Amino acid sequence: MTLSADAERTRMRDDFVRTVSRISAAIDSVIEGKAEVIRLILTVLLAEGHVLIEDVPGVGKTMLAKALARSIDCSVSRIQFTPDLLPSDITGVSAYVRQTREFEFKPGPCSPTSCSVTRSIAPRRRPSPRCSNAWKNGR
């Protein structure tokens, strides 16, 4: 291992730390007082994992997802789980186009970059296992 290789690794590490710090600061400027939540979400994002944000209504869960998406130049979609939600409402559907005589895929709100999911408004109702499974596997 040469000195220049060590210097390059140090430079890359410093660039990484600065970038993550800038993203964190950008989110913190929108959502104040949630530094620990922001740190955990960024950790999960870097590990390519999934995040479930649970809290009472009105504390900024959707705003947090939007701020994160804007900070990393991604889009975000929100899904409100309701009893009549179908898996294709999440992942998309192939629709027949009469003029071209072909099926055209119409993507749903879940994309490879980001997706925010909200549980049903009705209390104690959970999304059906079919919808939850489609959301998980729709990526």
Instruction: Tell me the average pLDDT of the chain.
Output: 80
The pLDDT tens digits for 16-28 are 999 999 999 999 9
Total domains in the chain come to 1
Residue 105, beta-bridge partner list: 94
What ranges in 1-139 are assigned the alpha helix state H?
A: 3-30, 35-46, 61-71, 87-91, 129-137
Domain assignment present for 112: yes
Predicted pLDDT at 123: 45
Q: Is 68 helix (H, G, I), strand (E, B) or coil?
A: helix
Flag whether the pTM goes above 0.85: no
H-helix or E-strand containing 116?
A: strand 116-118
Question: 2 to each of 10, 14, 81, 82, 86, how far by Cα in Å?
Answer: 13, 19, 55, 59, 57
Range of the domain at 127: 75-139
Domain assignment present for 61: no
- CA 59 to chain centroid: 18
Domain assignment present for 55: no
The pLDDT tens digits for 91-122 are 888 999 999 999 998 888 775 544 555 554 44
Domain assignment present for 46: no
